[in-house]
Structure 1
Amino acid sequence: MGKSALIVIDMINTYDHPDADLLVPSVRKALPHVVRLLERARTVGVPVIFVNDNYGQWRSHHGELVETALAGPRAELVRPVRPDDESLFVIKARHSIFYETPLSYLLDQLGADHVVLTGQVTEQCVLYSALDAHIRHLRVTIPQDAVAHIHEELAAAALLMMERNMGATITTAEAAQF
């Protein structure tokens, strides 16, 4: 059995998009669970990989994305989960954390065959990323209290699809195994 990696999806966010008002309440609810997952992973030496949209800013680097989000009106949602000096960072342009990114290569270099996906949005980026992880023969865990959604009913359906169709382990942040 290989290693695990904790992947934090799109939590470095300015929340300056059309459905932010629908998303923010769910982020507030998930945030303490994401923070605990980060703390646990860092304590036991599990690699933490932030995979984040670049929001079309092709000249941006991860530090600039973090700085912009921390300077924005929702900095309180970013500050508790900002990457530390040991965190790895991958920029993505579309929904899946794997699409046109070096993530597969990075996971292979780390010897990781299991990903714990946390972040946002359950019914979009988390769902598509779980599918792409599944087709790459990675084991997938989704702590349902540590993912945020825009539409609760779609998030519930997405979690069910990830469990049934992709064999993902749906659990809580506290019970998630690395």
Structure 2
Amino acid sequence: MKANPTRAALILIDMENGFVEPEGGHCIRFAKSTVPACVRAVETAREKGIPVFFVKRIYRADGSDVELTRYAGWVAGNRACGPASTGPNSAQAPEGLRPQPGDYTIIKPRWSAFFQTELDLILRRLGIRTVILAGTTTPNCVRTTCYDAIALEYNTVVLTDCCSSQTEEIQRVNLEDMGRAGAILMDSAAFTAFGPDTVPDTSAAIRAAMAGEAIAPEPFTQGPDGVFWPDLW
């Protein structure tokens, strides 16, 4: 396993044909346009030794695990991301976004990548402190994963051009809300320069402060990019 000095992991959510292709039953309007940026992010992560997690949705053939809000569509004939679905309705990922040896695949039953999955266990076993989120859709699966990651005290990054929504306005306001909640927003170009010191380990700093090893930080301040960063010491 390649060394990972960043202690980060890239989590790519629901980038599969049923969500990405225009003919897919769960198509997200802007998802396909983000594929090139997502591919660059995955390649960057592998080059840096950052583990890549492909988080997918694959429904059972009988629909017994389909969300309440999607079940009517399932019964009506939309079998997107089912085990027997093919073509644009399948759970197959676009070219360049498929797992390679050393990558991880997580099947999630609901929006968040952490909900009733082994993701948190594996991240902690790997010593991960920062999660970098990409995929679709921004207001649902990316956002719920973001909030769960923050609640679990991971430093959380969202790659803004690697996630997608049905409209530009939905994309904008959800990114802003995640930023207000404590996520760090950056694009895939900035991610190419990602290193061990790019993201402050806020949780570790708080633990150190509580142990009397450092002076408590000043309140968060807004940086030139509009993101609120903690004044760490």
TM more than 0.5: yes
Q: Is residue 2:41 matched to residue 1:37? A: yes
Deviation, 1:74, is 7.1
User: Is residue 2:167 matched to residue 1:151?
Assistant: yes
Which aligned pairs between 1:51-130 and structure 2 lie closer than 5 A? 51-57=55-61, 71-73=86-88, 78-130=94-146
Q: 1:138 aligns with which of 129, 154, 171?
A: 154
- TM-score when normalising by structure 2: 0.65
1:57–1:5 distance in 2 versus 1, CA, 3 Å: farther
Give the CA RMSD over aligned residues: 2.6
Q: What is the CA distance between 1:103 and its match in structure 2?
A: 0.7
Matches of 2:6 and 2:18, distance apart in 1: 35
Contact 1:118-1:147 within 8 A present in 2 as well: yes
CA distance 1:173–1:96, change in 2 (3 Å): same
- Which structure 2 residue ranges, 5 or more long, are not aligned? 63-80, 196-233
1:143-164 CA-to-partner distances (Å, cap 9, x unmatched) read 1101111232222111111101
List, as ranges, runs of 4+ consecutive aligned residues in structure 1 with deviation greater than 6 Å. Answer: 74-77
* Higher relative contact order (CA closer than 8 Å, sequence separation 6+): 1
- Are residues 175 and 87 of structure 1, via their aligned partners in 2, closer, same or farther at CA, if it must alter by over 3 Å? same
Residue 171 of structure 1: aligned partner: 186
Report the Cα distance in structure 1 between the residues aligned to 2:89 and 2:44, rounded to whole angstroms. 25
Is the 8 Å Cα contact of residues 31 and 77 (structure 1) preserved in structure 2?
Answer: no
Structure number with higher helix proportion? 1
* Contact 1:28-1:77 within 8 A present in 2 as well: no
- Report SS of the residue matched to 1:14: helix
Displacement after TM superposition at 1:27 (Å): 1.7
Amino acid at match of 1:41: A
How many pairs align? Answer: 167
Could you tell me which amino acid in structure 1 is paired with residue 176 of structure 2?
A: L
* Identical counterparts, % of pairs: 30
TM-score (norm 1): 0.83
| 1:4 lines up with 2:8 in the alignment | yes
